[in-house]
A = this chain, B = another copy of it.
Amino acid sequence: MYKIDVPESSIPRVVIIGGGFGGLKLAKTLRNKEVQVVLIDKNNYHTFQPLLYQVATAGLEPDAIAFPIRKIFKTYENFYFRLAEVEGIDRETNKIITNIGELSFDFLVLATGSKTNYFGNQQIQKLGMPLKTVVQALDLRSLMLQNFEKALLSSDINTRESRMNFVIVGGGPTGVELAGALGELKGHVLPKDYPELDVRRMQIHLVEAGPRLLTGLSNVSSEKSLAYLKKLGVNVWLNTMVKGYDGTTVEMSSGKNLYTKNLVWSAGVMGNMIDGIPKESITLGSRILVDEFNKVKGFEKFYAIGDVASMVTKETPKGHPMVAQVAIQQGENLGKNILNQIKGKAPKPFQYKDLGSMATVGRNKAVVEINKFKSQGPFAWFIWMFVHLMSLVGFKNKAVVLVNWVWNYINYDRGIRLIIRPYNRQKAEMKERGVEEESAATTISEEVG
């Protein structure tokens, strides 16, 4: 087996798998300390997932929310990035196996985040659109625009409207924000682009299995979001599950059917697991059971943080929520603990500090909760924008996003209505057969493996 070429050194090697919120924070915490850090990701960029829905709805380009990982770490010492896909862990030898070779570790941290959970529904996995990656967001943008172009070609009114309709499954932040953004496209952008179509007939449906939207927030916020969505013309179906989808007809548990060529599935996520982890360490939602130090149960020197980790305690019987703040705080705590452990000091258990939650539905329409402070409306919207802008990596990204937001606000516009790479069903069928789109890492392995 090929060995990944990273300098051998006398200081301990920390291998981090995943450059998401948790992995980045961990690597930053270990900056220029007495450890060698190797960060592995299948992409060469970090994705700011909270704004993915704006890429999908033609509001932002990928460069606004994706940041090159090498750029973040260019001044770090003893830091190495490798573009690779991790295939598994060899417990005997303390090595990870990747598509570009294997690598030994002194500390291993799994920070692979989460992926879309279809709960076994293969129809929806094949024909629905997920929204967890930049490529998926671009595909959704293309599909939406392609379907509007196709709507012009249908003389049959049902076919035409099924191309214009959207059904979004899952009333979490992604579903709510996406539905709101589509409502604004319907109101201000699409009628100008498609004067030949009766865009008023475009339907946007949001289907949620539970009794309210945004279950991570309070009832007040749920109700306000619901009101905002209704104002934007979104039909919200609570206590309703989507049971099937044949590419046009959406079967709901209520017995009612909806008709759309655009089904977005944001109703569930699951941990992004790798091979080599025993079943007894894996819990609900394909997450890894960790103790209060984020150490994987049954392993030494193997840790997991963020979405892929489940720290089951009395306060968190199902683990922590799968949100950025948990990953960031766990990354920081683990970084300190690794340094403590090397120095022979005792590690500190993880203590989650909830900094609050927020979601935006549209222009002047957002809900924010920070401890006991709750706000809805224009002020909440402003907070939402400020927090998201400031959380973006890099000054240039902040500037580009700001230019776009100001432009969109003044002009009621979403300017990036570009079909650069058309989405096609063929890909969806490959997905069904379990053939993932060829990734950079796979391409790289061709000539190495």
Residues of chain A having any CB pair with chain B under 8 Å: 4-5, 43-45, 61-63, 66, 68, 70-71, 74, 80, 82-83, 100-101, 134-135, 138, 142, 145-146, 149-150, 152-153, 155, 192-196, 394-397, 399-400, 403-404, 407, 413, 415-426, 438-440, 442-444, 446-448
Question: Do residues B395 and A44 form an inter-chain contact, with CB atoms below 8 A?
Answer: no
- From B71, B413, B422, give the contact of A417 (CB < 8 A): B71
Question: Do residues B422 and A439 form an inter-chain contact, with CB atoms below 8 A?
Answer: yes
Known contacts A152-B5, A399-B407, A438-B422: does B63 contact A415 (CB below 8 Å)?
A: yes
Number of copies: 2
Known contacts A394-B415, A439-B422: does B403 contact A149 (CB below 8 Å)?
A: no
Q: In the assembled complex, how far is the CB of residue A15 from the closest CB belonging to chain B, in whole angstroms?
A: 16
Residues of B within 8 A of A80 (CB): 196
Kindly list the 5 A-B residue pairs having the minimum CB-CB distance in the complex, ordered from nearest. Answer: A422-B440, A61-B61, A70-B193, A68-B417, A61-B63
A406 — nearest CB in chain B belongs to which residue?
B399
Question: Do residues A396 and B420 form an inter-chain contact, with CB atoms below 8 A?
Answer: no
Known contacts A44-B145, A394-B415: does B444 contact A150 (CB below 8 Å)?
A: yes
Question: Do residues A83 and B149 form an inter-chain contact, with CB atoms below 8 A?
Answer: yes
Question: Do residues A5 and B418 form an inter-chain contact, with CB atoms below 8 A?
Answer: no
Known contacts A149-B440, A403-B399, A403-B400: does B419 contact A43 (CB below 8 Å)?
A: yes
Residues of B within 8 A of A146 (CB): 83, 440, 443-444
A142 — nearest CB in chain B belongs to which residue?
B440
Question: Do residues A444 and B153 form an inter-chain contact, with CB atoms below 8 A?
Answer: yes
Residues of B within 8 A of A415 (CB): 63, 68, 71, 394, 396-397
Query: Complex: how many Å from CA A407 to CA B396?
Result: 7
Query: Complex: how many Å from CA A420 to CA B421?
Result: 11
Residues of B within 8 A of A426 (CB): 438
Q: In the assembled complex, how far is the CB of residue A91 from the closest CB belonging to chain B, in whole angstroms?
A: 25
29 A-B pairs within 8 Å (CB atoms) are namely A43-B419, A44-B149, A44-B418, A44-B419, A45-B418, A62-B418, A63-B418, A68-B418, A82-B152, A83-B146, A83-B419, A135-B421, A138-B420, A142-B440, A146-B440, A146-B444, A149-B444, A153-B448, A394-B415, A395-B407, A396-B403, A396-B415, A399-B403, A399-B407, A403-B403, A419-B440, A421-B421, A425-B443, A425-B446
Q: In the assembled complex, how far is the CB of residue A430 from the closest CB belonging to chain B, in whole angstroms?
A: 12
